[in-house]
Amino acid sequence: MNNEQSPAPSATLSVGDDFGESLRDNMTLLGDMLGRTIADDLGEKFVERIEHIRADAKAARDAGEAGRKALARNLHDLSEDELLPVTRAFNQFLNLANIAEQHHRAHVRHVEDYRPGTQPYMDSLLSRILEKGIPAERILDTLSTMQVDLVLTAHPTEVVRRTLIKKYDMIDQCLGQLEACQEEPERRARLTERLEELIRQAWHTDEIRRERPTPVDEARGGFAVIENSLWRALPDFYRDLDRQLLTTIGERLPLTASPIRFASWMGGDRDGNPNVTAKVTHEVLRQGRLMAASLYMDDLRSLRSQLSMWKANADILAETGEVNEPYRAILDKLMVRMQATCEALSAELNGDAYVTREKLVLTRADLQEPLMRCHASLCECGMASIANGALLDTLRRVACFGMTLSRLDIRQDSERHTEVMAELVQTLWNEDYADWDEERRQEFLIRELGSRRPLIPRHWECSADTREVLDTFETIAHEPREALGSYVISMAGQPSDVLTVALLMKEAGGAYLPIAPLFETLADLDRSGKVVDRLLDIPAYRALIHGRQEVMIGYSDSAKDAGQLAAAWAQYRAQETLVSICNARNVHLTLFHGRGGTVGRGGGPVHAAILSQPPGSVNGSLRVTEQGEMIRFKFGQPEVAIRNMEIYAISVLEASLLPPPAPRPEWREEMDRLAEQAHRVYVHVVRETPGFVPYFRTVTPETALGQLPLGSRPARRQKQGGGVETLRAIPWIFAWTQTRLMLPAWLGSDAAFSERIETPEGLARLQEMMTQWPFFGTYLDLLEMLLSKADPSITADYEQHLLPDPELRLLGESLRERLAVLRGALLTITGQKTLLEHAPLIKQAIDVRNPYIDPLHRLQAELLQRQRVANGDIPVSLRRALMVTMAGIAAGLRNTG
């Protein structure tokens, strides 16, 4: 009997009663549908088995050791054939829970977690700024010139396939449509059938990619977020902003202004990724232009159908003559050019020849100029309401997305540039550039920057690696400036690293691209001020930058290098120093924050993070990375995207006009002491404890991560040994998150805080800093969120399965004891009895997911054990089940990398 004819099974998946009514109802609805879907596929008894496991997991949290043993027995009794469907069931529910929660957050405009009463909104901020005596003209000028670049990056731990993401998006849309037709039973019935169909589609779709995505695939994923969500969300965001500005200060945002813009690393980030080549970069740029041209073509068709008016000003009539519908005449010409642009880009991507007499639409100005003339004419002729309708929406898109959708950044490791110079110097002068000290390198590079003669021979037969670097600079030179963002230099440590890139740009003959040195390690952060200070003393360099300097602050590698607390303080100090140096030279500084989703990588609520930066560091400009899963969570749905864009605009405006206070001298002394002790403990454990690396490799799924076809970039850096230092920061944190120890984000803080709270003076100082210094208060909030997700009992289960060595078990026990000490210290500092008393939504989200995450943890430990006993030779179904456990845990904990 087919599904349509069979009665609905009674077995369902329970979600508990922790959430609010609408959210709980949606989670129950999705869970019931998933339960029926699984029952139809595998039988009601199987769903009952799933529910028993979930109930055991919930009981295990209440009954302690006895409950955990019952859960372990239930999972151990699963047959080999049951392991994969069980992991899939829990993984699928967690993804549906995420959809329901995202939908709820969009509805209540609560996309980030704050203390009660502290949600940021633009209208209240504008009123507060005016109350502080700041004139309306300054507010408008700040917003009009503000540059907030959200830089979309590929993510090596983004686990959900694009195929499933599309289905999840449609599920979200169905939920919204269901809520909007409460009084229409027939339509609700149709939508309910469609919703269940989509859930069945998701269940019968493989969660795991068979092959790794290419860099072009990743770029297409970024473009898809713009096409499917941001393209619609952006005009609505600006309509809301215009409405608030008109109400508060009586002005709209200028037509050419776009405080929020988007950039991308997808197809441009070649740091440690041999798959990103000059050819790939060229293709990604063309793909972005083609999608932009196609989207604008749809806009122009829509505008043509609407702008049928006959009144026009002299400017428009001078071009069109006395025609009945002058705006349509303008749009007809523009559409012919846009169609030719689409055809030309398609031909280029296909390797075909294309010849046209039409002038292609290649730049923002090519599209913006005729549309602005139409807007001006409509306003002059008394049709401002029409001008500020769909036409204004398109102009807002043009101001933000240009003709490329997003500007592409280029990133490369400084060592690759040094290798080019070494090969060149060896070829030309038979000298070893590697032996030159920093002063000699700078002298050489400055001299060549000022020279009119070419340095690189025209037909130089260099190595393949050097040729690839030079080809990248050739690609940059031949692209329109507005298609590209910044050139980011990873592991920048000296002025010569920046000067080398400037010289290679000169040799390629292209326009100057802003060069952003990325300071990542603790030593590089501490040295960043000296590097920029020296660069700004060089006349040839100052002539290139036109009074603007960009610097990227690395969160991931600095935390991996030094521990989270020491890294956070080093990042803060580095920003202070850079602001002071640039202000003294009248150079506008833009700081680029390489944040990730986790606390260990600078993650957390945006508003709190931006307002906790040093005063003056956010001065009308900011760049920040948004990575993989966080792109989907923040921008994958239009309503959520609108709210997140608003939060970024609010935060940068507030930090620019109402900057936070500078820390008191005694707070600096306290942070120096805390950071020094935390760093010492972190280094001792991670780098000096003999059993630490074997413990990490054995107890976490780090070695199995390579089997998961996640991103295009390798998980390990090349040309290094096999230690922890070869791991990239993202998989390093991802592996610890899977075992719920979350070590990178807290290790060292345990010793630093527990010692200070032992004295009344120390505790009072920490509490004073928590309440009066945004930087420290935000740090503690993020630490609290992280500790609420950490679970030493889960970690102990991994150890029991995977650690035969008693010495390594003792190490694991000591780490879990450290975590318990930190939890107690944090509760003492915050004055709370339990974690997250002030953030009930986060706590509820964690509590409702735990019964579905816990079985995945224990199944993962079991599967890892089987894999290692079999030396990796396990059935395909079990290998797939292991990968699904990683995906499910990541989905349940959300900010995993």
Same domain? 490 vs 608: yes
Q: Is the dihedral of CA 623, 628, 630, 631 positive or negative?
A: positive
Domain range for residue 46? 1-110+162-205+841-897
Confidence (pLDDT) at 577: 98
Last residue of some domain: 817, 838, 859?
838
Q: Cα–Cα–Cα angle for 768, 773, 778, nearest 5°?
A: 105
Assess whether pLDDT exceeds 80 at residue 440. Answer: yes
Assess whether pLDDT exceeds 80 at residue 308. Answer: yes
Note the residue count of the chain. Answer: 897
Same domain? 695 vs 647: no
Are 374 and 383 in contact by the 8 Å Cβ rule? The answer is: no
Return the beta strands (E) in 382-442 as ranges.
Answer: 407-413
Last residue of some domain: 838, 861, 878?
838
Task: Give, for 7, the enclosing helix (H) or strand (E).
Answer: none
**β pairing state of 260-264 and 515-519:** unpaired
Q: pLDDT tens-digit profile of 62-121? A: 776 777 778 888 888 888 899 999 999 999 999 998 888 888 877 777 766 555 556 788
Confidence (pLDDT) at 90: 95
User: What is the percentage of the chain residues whose pLDDT exceeds 70?
Assistant: 92
For residues 211-222, give the mean pLDDT: 87
Same domain? 316 vs 265: yes
Q: Kindly indicate the confidence band of residue 575, based on its pLDDT and cuts at 50, 70 and 90.
A: very high
Whole-angstrom CA distances from 568 to 665, 666, 746, 785, 821 are 18, 18, 12, 16, 21
Q: Is residue 296 part of a domain?
A: yes
Q: Kindly indicate the confidence band of residue 601, based on its pLDDT and cuts at 50, 70 and 90.
A: very low
Cα-based torsion angle of the residue sequence 584, 588, 594, 596 in order, rounded to the nearest 10 degrees = 110
Assess whether pLDDT exceeds 60 at residue 579. Answer: yes
Assess whether pLDDT exceeds 60 at residue 157. Answer: no
| Rounded Cα distance, 550 and 475, in Å | 22
Q: pLDDT tens-digit profile of 504-530? A: 999 999 778 999 999 989 999 999 999
| Rounded Cα distance, 107 and 116, in Å | 17
Same domain? 817 vs 848: no
Q: Kindly indicate the confidence band of residue 1, based on its pLDDT and cuts at 50, 70 and 90.
A: very low
3-state secondary structure of 464: helix
- Total domain count, the chain: 4
Confidence (pLDDT) at 264: 96
Confidence (pLDDT) at 165: 83
Same domain? 830 vs 852: no
Q: pLDDT tens-digit profile of 623-677? A: 999 987 788 888 988 999 999 999 999 999 999 999 999 999 999 999 999 999 9
Q: Is residue 550 part of a domain?
A: yes
> Which one has a higher pLDDT value, 165 or 241?
241
Q: Is residue 571 part of a domain?
A: yes
Q: Kindly indicate the confidence band of residue 716, based on its pLDDT and cuts at 50, 70 and 90.
A: low
Q: Is residue 177 part of a domain?
A: yes
Last residue of some domain: 838, 857, 873?
838
**β pairing state of 515-519 and 588-594:** unpaired
Q: Is residue 222 part of a domain?
A: no
Reduced 3-state DSSP string for 490-547: ECCCCHHHHHHHHHHHHHHCCCCCCEEEEECCHHHHHHHHHHHHHHHCCHHHHHHHCC
Are 877 and 579 in contact by the 8 Å Cβ rule? The answer is: no
Confidence (pLDDT) at 11: 47
Q: pLDDT tens-digit profile of 844-892? A: 778 888 989 999 999 999 999 988 888 878 898 898 899 899 989 988 8
* Start-to-end CA span in the chain (Å): 45
Same domain? 180 vs 271: no
Task: Identify any residues that bridge with 478 across adjacent strands, giving them in sequence order.
Answer: none
Task: For residue 242, count other CB atoms closer than 10 A to its CB.
Answer: 16
Same domain? 578 vs 673: no
Confidence (pLDDT) at 558: 80
Residues with catalytic roles: 155, 560
Q: Kindly indicate the confidence band of residue 160, based on its pLDDT and cuts at 50, 70 and 90.
A: low
Whole-angstrom CA distances from 845 to 110, 601, 747 are 13, 21, 25
102-105, long-range: CB < 8 A, 24+ apart: 102/172, 102/633, 102/636, 102/637, 102/640, 103/26, 103/172, 103/175, 103/176, 103/637, 104/19, 104/20, 104/22, 104/23, 104/26, 105/640
Same domain? 531 vs 604: yes
Provide the b/e sequence for 413-430 (b: ≥16 CB within 10 Å). Answer: bbebbbbbbbbbbeeeee
Cα-based torsion angle of the residue sequence 553, 556, 560, 561 in order, rounded to the nearest 10 degrees = -20
Confidence (pLDDT) at 34: 96
Assess whether pLDDT exceeds 90 at residue 599. Answer: no
**With 0-12 CB in 10 A as exposed, 13-18 as middle and 19+ as buried, what is 299?**
buried
Q: Is residue 812 part of a domain?
A: yes
How does the average pLDDT of the chain come out, rounded? 90
Same domain? 827 vs 846: no
3-state secondary structure of 404: coil
| Rounded Cα distance, 392 and 243, in Å | 13
Same domain? 190 vs 330: no
Q: Assign residue 345 the CATH number of its domain.
A: 1.20.1440.90
| Rounded Cα distance, 76 and 801, in Å | 12
Same domain? 632 vs 680: no
For residues 157-172, give the mean pLDDT: 79
Same domain? 814 vs 882: no
Q: Is residue 612 part of a domain?
A: yes
Q: Assign residue 570 the CATH number of its domain.
A: 3.20.20
Task: Identify any residues that bridge with 594 across adjacent strands, giving them in sequence order.
Answer: 554
Confidence (pLDDT) at 136: 96
Confidence (pLDDT) at 244: 96
Assess whether pLDDT exceeds 90 at residue 152. Answer: yes
Q: Is residue 711 part of a domain?
A: no
Q: Kindly indicate the confidence band of residue 15, based on its pLDDT and cuts at 50, 70 and 90.
A: very low
